[in-house]
C-alpha cells in the first residue's frame, strides 16, 4: 500500500480481556494513543509529530466522538444481554 504522503495502514483488533489503552502526551510533540490487546498493539499519532493542523484537531474530535459512540453501543448491548441498565 502506498500512501503518497497521506494516511495509510489497515488493522483489525478483536479485544478480549487482556487490553490496555493509554494516551501519552509530550511537551513538544503530538500525543500518541496506544491500544494493546494480548500480543497485538497499535498506536495512533499525527503525521509530522510537531505541529497540530486544523485537520488533526478535526480528526481527534471525530475519533473521540466515534469512541464515545462505540462505548455507548457496547453498554447498550451489555445491558440488553444481562438485563442490567447501562451506567
Residue 40 has pLDDT above 80, yes or no: yes
Residue 85 has pLDDT above 70, yes or no: no
CA distance 40 to 23: 17
Q: How confident is the model at residue 3 (pLDDT cuts 50, 70, 90)?
A: low
Residue 30 has pLDDT above 90, yes or no: yes
Residue 23, beta-bridge partner list = 33
Q: What pLDDT score was predicted for residue 86?
A: 54
Q: Is 8 left (phi over 0), alpha (psi -120 to 50) or beta?
A: beta
> Which residues, 6+ apart, have CB-to-CB distance to 31 below 8 Å?
23, 24, 25, 45, 46
CA distance 18 to 31: 23
Amino acid at each position: 500500500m502506498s500512501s503518497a504522503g497521506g494516511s495509510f495502514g489497515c488493522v483489525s483488533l478483536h479485544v478480549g480481556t487482556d487490553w490496555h489503552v493509554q494516551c501519552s502526551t509530550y511537551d513538544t510533540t503530538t500525543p500518541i494513543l496506544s491500544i494493546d490487546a494480548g500480543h497485538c498493539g497499535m498506536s495512533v499519532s499525527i503525521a509530522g509529530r510537531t505541529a497540530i493542523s486544523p485537520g488533526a484537531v478535526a480528526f481527534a474530535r471525530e475519533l473521540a466522538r466515534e469512541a464515545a459512540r462505540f462505548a455507548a453501543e457496547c453498554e447498550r448491548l451489555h445491558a440488553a444481554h444481562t438485563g442490567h441498565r447501562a451506567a
